[in-house]
Every structure is written in structure tokens, then in C-alpha cells.
Chain A
Amino acid sequence: MTPTILIVDDDPLVRKLITTTLQDVAGFRLREAGDGLEALEAAAQECPRIVFLDYDMPRLNGIETCRRLRSDPSTADATIIMLTGMSDAPALDRALDAGADHFLTKPFSPLRLLRLVDELGAG
């Protein structure tokens, strides 16, 4: 089965930019979610290999979503990349505690995004 990347952000433009940037780069299927609850629902169906997770979201924020993904055995092994605001050190700490593997600070570098996914795809 083709592995999936789940992109979770409440801003449709950010989601669209990430999916456009990553289309066909490392053989992943791309799936979007608009908040944490949608993300958990999508994750339960897809068991994504990689999750891009916005820090600030309505309904269920990135930290809590991250924790829940980590505690569910079917998504516990996913690579979670937290999208945070520039130089928000406490947010980085909280994301680490919640089990995030990597960070991208907004505005994120599309090249970093590409390299990250290319490496994760190769591995």
C-alpha cells in the first residue's frame, strides 16, 4: 500500500502549498485535515507514515493531537513534524514532550520540507 502523508492545518492555503510542494516527490499519497479532530479521524483510516501538524488549531490543538496520535498503537510510529511559529521556544518544548520528531517553523522553507520528506521517503 502506498504510504500516506497527512497534512493538518486550519489554513487551507498552507495545506494546499504543502500538498503542491510534495506532490509525487517521494511516492506518498497526500491527505489533508483542517483540525485535530479531523486529523485523528483521517489517521485512524490511513495510518499515515508522516504527519505535518500545525501547532495552533481550533477544536483540538497540535499538542493534544500529537499526544493522541502517539498513544494510539496504529499511529504511534508515524513521523510527526510540528509546524510552529518562528522562535516560539516554549512551543518547541511542548511539542517535543508530546512526541514530535521534527519541526518546521512558519514561514516554512519549501526546500527544507522537500528534503525532509525525500529523506524520510528514502529511509
Chain B
Amino acid sequence: MTSSTGASQDTVASLRDRLERLEREGTARQRQLERYAADLREIFKQERDRAQALRRSYRATVLALADAVEARDAYTGKHAERVASYGLRIARAAGVEVDPQVEFGFLLHDVGKVAVPDAILFKPGPLTAEERVLVVRHPVIGSEILRHIDFLDEAKEVVLHHHERWDGTGYPDELEGEDIPMQARVFAVADTLDALTTDRPYQAATSWAKAREVIRMEAGMQFDPAIVAAYETVPDEEFTGIRDAIA
């Protein structure tokens, strides 16, 4: 009897030991899991911050390039930034996915103009046929300038095709209708909107209403009618707000 009680006490004691050991192991495992979770969280935060810093420096680089193009032309100042913001707004109205690359393409659309001599770019009178050839090459030159920059792959499409026309009479490839990349179709409307509503040496700025009329008339000719329709849903005040924020 005594020995049997001793045996069961042994068993109870050893079970208790085992239980305690299991609990200790369980706690240790839980702590280890929590440690994994905490480290993963820190790595996630670092990676996220680095990605943000990288995006910021991409954008700063693109803006510097766009500024370099505009620095030659005293009149257009901030044209690229305005066009980019108008374009993003119109893209959103049209339900077009707005990737950061799209904005980069808008900002850099005229980068190829660095290869067009001042005497031609700022010539007050009509261009000769040869001069026109040089001007018309700027989208191709622009896309070639950017060709090795991987993070601008989509942007190159805008740069190359920003002078195409919906009716197929644009350049450089005379693309027609939906063959023109969507972003370039959006850009075309934004570009005209800014050109019309900004003072230029040869032409005073028109009102938003007048610009709207001109753009509406070009739906189906210069512009994709669907993009013009999307543009029509954005009120003038929003464009004013964008322009004032950039000025």
C-alpha cells in the first residue's frame, strides 16, 4: 500500500514535471513565434520606407529632366507639371488606371525637344519642310533618350505617341483610334487644354469654356471621343485648382 501510494505520488510528480516542461516549451515556442512576427514587421517597415524613398527619387529625377527641357522655353514654364496633373485628373475621370509611370510619361513628353535647335523650336514664322522634319522627330528622339531607363517603360509610350491623332493623321507612326496607347490619348487632351489656357507669345490664354469648345470640336478628329467625354465630366474649378496649386 505504502509503496503503491509512493508509486502514484511518483507518477503525479512526474506528470506534474512533464506538464510544467510542456508549458515552458509552449511559452518558449510562443515567444519565438512572436519574435519572428516582430522581426518580419520591422523588415516590412524598412522595405516599405525604402520603396517610398525610391519612388520619391524616381519622381525627383523625372521632374529634373522635365525642368531641363522647359528651362529653354521661358513661356511654357511648368507646362509639363500642369499637363501631368490635368492628365491624371482626366485619366481618373475616364477610369484609366493611373500608374506612377503614366505621370512620368506626361512629365517627360517633350524630352526629345532637347535635340531640336532653338532657332527652329522658337521660330516665329512657319517652318520649312526640313525644319518640320526635325520637329516631328522629337517624340522618337525622346523615347530613344529614355530607352535604357527600365522604370520608364510605360512612360516611353506616352513620349513616343503624344502627337498621334485619333483620325490617324498624327506622328510619328500615324496610329489611328485605339491603336494609340490610352495614356497618349489622355495626354493629347490635357496638352491641348494647357496650351489653350496658358498665355503664349503668339496667343493669349483662352477661358476654360472656350478651351472646352475647341476640345469638343476635335472629338473624333484629334481626340478619342471617350476621353473628351471623360474630360467633360471634370468641372473647370478643378482645373483652376490644379493650375493654382502648381503656379
On A, residues with C-beta under 8 Å from B are 13, 16-17, 20-25, 110-111, 114, 118
From 2 to 39 in chain B, residues with beta carbon under 8 angstroms from any chain A beta carbon are: 30, 33-34, 37-38
Question: What CA separation (Å) do A118 and B46 show in the bound complex?
Answer: 13
Find out whether the CB atom of B34 lies under 8 angstroms from the CB atom of A111: no
List residues of chain B with CB within 8 A of the CB of A20: 34, 37-38, 41
Q: Is B210 part of the binding interface, using a Cβ–Cβ cutoff of 8 Å? A: no
List residues of chain B with CB within 8 A of the CB of A114: 40-41, 44
Find out whether the CB atom of A25 lies under 8 angstroms from the CB atom of B44: yes
Least CB distance, A45 to chain B, in whole angstroms: 26
Question: What CA separation (Å) do A23 and B33 show in the bound complex?
Answer: 15
CB contacts between A and B, total, < 8 Å: 33
Instruction: List 28 A-B pairs, Cβ < 8 Å.
Output: A13-B30, A13-B33, A16-B30, A16-B34, A17-B33, A17-B34, A17-B37, A20-B34, A20-B37, A20-B38, A20-B41, A21-B38, A21-B40, A21-B41, A23-B38, A23-B41, A24-B45, A25-B41, A25-B44, A25-B45, A110-B40, A110-B41, A111-B40, A111-B44, A114-B41, A114-B44, A118-B44, A118-B48
* In the complex, residue of chain A having the shortest beta-carbon distance to the beta carbon of B30: A13
Question: What CA separation (Å) do A114 and B30 show in the bound complex?
Answer: 20
- The secondary structure that dominates the B interface is helix
On B, residues with C-beta under 8 Å from A are 30, 33-34, 37-38, 40-41, 44-45, 48
Least CB distance, B39 to chain A, in whole angstroms: 10
List residues of chain A with CB within 8 A of the CB of B48: 118
Question: What CA separation (Å) do A121 and B34 show in the bound complex?
Answer: 23
Closest 3 CB pairs of A and B: A20-B37, A21-B37, A114-B44
Question: What CA separation (Å) do A25 and B41 show in the bound complex?
Answer: 7
Least CB distance, A36 to chain B, in whole angstroms: 24
Question: What CA separation (Å) do A17 and B38 show in the bound complex?
Answer: 9
List residues of chain B with CB within 8 A of the CB of A118: 44, 48
List residues of chain B with CB within 8 A of the CB of A24: 41, 45
Least CB distance, A2 to chain B, in whole angstroms: 18
* In the complex, residue of chain B having the shortest beta-carbon distance to the beta carbon of A22: B41
List residues of chain A with CB within 8 A of the CB of B33: 13, 17
Question: What CA separation (Å) do A14 and B60 show in the bound complex?
Answer: 42
Question: What CA separation (Å) do A47 and B83 show in the bound complex?
Answer: 42
